[in-house]
Structure 1
Amino acid sequence: MSRPVIVKVNAAVRRRPPVPALVVAVALTALISGCGGARHQSGAQPAAAGTLAAATGTTSGCGQKAAPGSVRYAVRAGGRSRLVIVHVPTGYTGSAPVALVLNLQGSQSTASAQEVFSGMDATSDADGFIVAYPQALIPDGTGYDWNVPGEPLVSGRYPPAGSADDVTFLTGLVRDLQARYCIDARRVYATGMSGGARMASQLACDASQVFAAVAPVAGLRSPSPCPAARPVPVIAFHGTADPVDPFTGHGLPYWTYSVPDAARMWAARDGCQSASPRTVTGAGYTLTQYAGCGGGAAVELYAIDGEGHEWPGGPAMPRAITAALGPQSDAIDANAVMWAFFQAHPLPA
């Protein structure tokens, strides 16, 4: 398995991402505008551009300083150049190990778009974890798609022959970031939107010894086969009015069974008491919790009433986005809820 190596920086350290063109889900291209009022965005101005050396190859980046803010790296992996945006939280010292969250873009989207769409930089700053936004590689529309093993793209076609192995890329990226930053190996997590959620679901199966827990948003799947080496904690979020990946299933070729079915399959795989889950009805959402899981795992599904193909509690999107993807909801803050779940589920010692 080849290991990604960071070879240079596309220099730009900033506290607040620029407003990019956002491409999310099936054949959607729209411009983000008016994001100055986004609920999770920091008001800090971009810092001066800088240059960082390549990773040293050491097993720990503890002791290496890094300025807070977001940096765009060019990454060499499997003979290909890849992009990753890494956000270092305010107050990071480089001496105390912190958690790492990989936040994966949706299909036909980009890493920059995901940074804005999820608003996770502010959660990173508030709670002191590093968040990395890797970019997929298969061109699609004005963005890129992940190579989810055995699954078709949103177009219905399968990834081209010779496409990058994204499981290898993402697990290798974790090792590389551990060499650059002071990261707690027991607290590495994955989340993502839509196609990125399907990729995060795959990581739970194929890299269960690397990712302590996963949090798919608008794209929970239960891959088969699933060679997970342990019960994997899973928390998922999905709008009941999602027009892209319908909550009840029966969508595009990659989207067959329902989201509740996917949660039930994870509960069965994790050895939970899947026959009698606990249901909690809140203001604008329903939470289904599976308990009694093996290895201290848990499976939770937040069904967001009337929400579309959106990031629950995320930054307000312009009408051009919500007209295509469906309504947003503030019923829950997915970032805060998933972070609490991640904190409760490190890798077993």
Structure 2
Amino acid sequence: MFTRVMLALVALLIGSALISPLAAPGPAQAAVPGCSTAPTEGIFGLTRQVAPSGRGYTLYVPPGVSDHASLVLDLAGAAVPTLAELATDGWRQFADGKDLIVAWPDASGVGSLFWNYAENSNDVAALRDVVSDISAKHCVDARHVHAWGWSNGAMMAHRLACDAGDVFASVAAYEAPWFPTGVNLAGPMDGDFRLFTGCAPKRPISVGVFEAALDFNYWLNPSMHTEWVNRNHCGPNRIPDTGAQPTTEGTRWTDCDGGTEVLWRVYVLGIHQPPFWLAPDMLDRTWQLFRDNPLPA
């Protein structure tokens, strides 16, 4: 673990050179009057906060954000400490130069390291509270609150799309190890852990599904993109979505209910933990998805 954390710190220091800039997100909604646009202070500009529910989170507000910044919650994989997550997934570096605030909330379960992705779980409520806490202090555009996660955190991102589409405008997930028979690898927590059990979003919602061809989960489990293509009633038209990173699949459905879209990419060189060589491509595409799909007015 020590070696992993040290490598994470090195990645954090050099990773910003790998991330390409994109334009600011689209139509904004006024933030809370008197909110702050000041950058957070601390090591690497990070600060620890605790929401009223008691849920802790690490926050990064880069210099230069406006009074209507986007907010992304980055949800770590199972048993992955915040330091390792924020230093290796690329979001801390990616936020620099963009109108973007990023938060890394603690999970629940054993050691606060496992997400409870059951329907309307304690973690769904806690993440709503984290968003409210950040929005009460910092200038967040309520139409541009999003979630991204990987592995167990990707499962949680999908659950937020199911249960909390009134708060989260769109979500993206990397390598969610879906076990449709109800197997739970996230600890002894209450609830039915079949991910799409009770998944009935109150509105169509845009979702990005990123997968890794070198991860056993990709070969053992069905892809989740079909769940969202069906739930959003997407039409048969597909737009190829290619890029610098080689993929076995790169498809975007844009003729979906409510003007939503579903993005599906399978990286040839992808492994289970998000590798740094995929960060520029995956985060650019995720940000584009988020920017193009705000909460409906």
Do they fold alike, i.e. is TM over 0.5? Answer: yes
CA distance in 1, matches of 2:69, 2:60: 12
CA distance in 2, matches of 1:270, 1:21: 43
Calculate the aligned-residue CA RMSD, in Å. Answer: 2.6
CA distance in 1, matches of 2:210, 2:89: 13
> In structure 1, what is the equivalent of residue 257 of structure 2?
294
Q: Of 124, 149, 168, which aligns to 1:192?
A: 149
**Structure 1 residue 90 displacement after superposition:** 1.7
Q: Which amino acid aligns with 1:145?
A: F
> In structure 1, what is the equivalent of residue 108 of structure 2?
137
Alpha-carbon contact 1:217-1:237 (below 8 Å) kept: yes
> In structure 1, what is the equivalent of residue 287 of structure 2?
339
Within 5 A, what are the aligned runs for 1:220-231?
Answer: 223-231=196-204
Q: In proportion to residue count, which structure has more helix?
A: 2
1:21 to 1:233, Cα distance in 2 relative to 1, 3 A = farther
Unpaired segments ≥5 residues, structure 1:
1-19, 23-29, 43-58, 151-163, 250-256, 315-328
Q: Secondary structure at the match of 2:229?
A: helix
Q: Which amino acid aligns with 2:94?
A: T
> In structure 1, what is the equivalent of residue 246 of structure 2?
284
* Larger Rg over CA atoms: 1
Alpha-carbon contact 1:62-1:183 (below 8 Å) kept: no
> In structure 2, what is the equivalent of residue 263 of structure 1?
225
> In structure 1, what is the equivalent of residue 138 of structure 2?
181
**Structure 1 residue 62 displacement after superposition:** 4.1
Which runs of at least 4 in structure 1 moved beyond 6 Å after TM superposition? none
- Cα deviation code 1:276-317 (max 9, x no counterpart): 5344455511312223100010001110003211325x3xxx
Residues paired across the two proteins, number? 261
Structure 1 length-normalised TM: 0.68
Unpaired segments ≥5 residues, structure 2:
18-30, 179-194
- Cα deviation code 1:135-156 (max 9, x no counterpart): 112116xx71011116xxxxxx
1:224 to 1:21, Cα distance in 2 relative to 1, 3 A = farther
1:21 to 1:128, Cα distance in 2 relative to 1, 3 A = farther
1:248 to 1:34, Cα distance in 2 relative to 1, 3 A = closer
Matching of residue 40 in structure 1 with residue 15 in structure 2? yes
Q: In proportion to residue count, which structure has more strand?
A: 1
Q: Secondary structure at the match of 1:301?
A: strand
Q: Of 33, 43, 46, which aligns to 1:70?
A: 46
> In structure 2, what is the equivalent of residue 120 of structure 1?
91
> In structure 2, what is the equivalent of residue 238 of structure 1?
211
**Structure 1 residue 66 displacement after superposition:** 2.7
CA distance in 2, matches of 1:229, 1:67: 35
Structure 2 length-normalised TM: 0.79
1:194 to 1:61, Cα distance in 2 relative to 1, 3 A = farther
- Taking CA–CA contacts closer than 8 Å with sequence separation of 6 or more, which of the two structures ends up with the larger relative contact order? 2
